[in-house]
């Protein structure tokens, strides 16, 4: 793999003391549930486990979706190495690079042992459909499409074999 960035690099995480940062983060971002273990919830703030904050490369840009062709190529590369981001939305991109992997699944993954066939394919391909919806929602004119256009493919199939439709009726 070359050194081209597929997503915003993550360098690790910091532990932030709950007594110092919990209230500030609640007010600033509206976080109401920290998903803590029950015994940790019962402690006062000074005794709670530290909050983990990811440390990522700073992308100082308000732009989200830029260069859809490259973004789609990056998404396909991530998928080829068995990383399925899952929630592809403009808010999860900075300057065309994916920054949010909170819903991502990698393979191997325990859930893929339970889900098989068409259901697994749909789950994995959801990011492709979300990519197309994101491009459409942003009003970007591009030929870059992640998911196959089923209506177009259906028209091609039906026009190739017009007599089959009559036999089915």
Q: What is the mean pLDDT of residues 130-158?
A: 78
Based on the fold, state whether residues 88 and 150 are members of the same structural domain.
yes
Q: 10 Å Cβ neighbour count for 133?
A: 14
Based on the fold, state whether residues 150 and 74 are members of the same structural domain.
yes
State pTM to two decimals. 0.72
Q: What is the mean pLDDT of residues 102-108?
A: 89
Q: What is the mean pLDDT of residues 154-164?
A: 48
Based on the fold, state whether residues 47 and 77 are members of the same structural domain.
no
Q: Is residue 78 part of a domain?
A: yes
Q: Is residue 51 part of a domain?
A: yes
Based on the fold, state whether residues 77 and 140 are members of the same structural domain.
yes
For residues 149 and 136, what is the distance between their CA atoms, to the nearest angstrom?
13
Q: Is the pLDDT of residue 24 over 60?
A: yes
Q: Which domain holds residue 106?
A: 68-162
Q: How confident is the model at residue 121 (pLDDT cuts 50, 70, 90)?
A: confident
pLDDT-above-90 percentage for the chain: 47
Which comes out higher in pLDDT, residue 69 or 121? Answer: 69
pLDDT for 89-99, tens place per residue?
999 999 999 99
Nearest to 100 by CA among 54, 139, 35, 63: 54
Based on the fold, state whether residues 75 and 52 are members of the same structural domain.
no
């Amino acid at each position: 793999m070359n050194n081209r960035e597929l997503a915003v690099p993550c360098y690790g995480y910091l532990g932030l003391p709950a007594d110092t940062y919990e209230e500030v983060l609640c007010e600033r971002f509206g976080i109401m549930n920290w998903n803590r273990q029950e015994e940790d919830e019962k402690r006062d703030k000074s005794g709670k486990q530290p909050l983990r904050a990811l440390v990522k490369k700073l992308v100082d840009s308000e732009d989200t979706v830029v260069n859809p062709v490259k973004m789609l190529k990056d998404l396909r590369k991530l998928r080829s190495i068995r990383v399925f981001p899952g929630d592809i939305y403009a808010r999860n991109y900075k300057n065309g690079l994916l920054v949010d992997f909170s819903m991502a699944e990698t393979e191997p993954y325990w859930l893929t042992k339970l889900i098989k066939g068409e259901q697994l394919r749909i789950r994995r391909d959801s990011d492709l459909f979300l990519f197309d919806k994101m491009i459409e929602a942003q009003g970007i004119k591009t030929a870059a499409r992640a998911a196959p256009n089923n209506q177009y493919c259906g028209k091609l199939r039906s026009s190739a074999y017009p007599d089959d439709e009559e036999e089915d009726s």
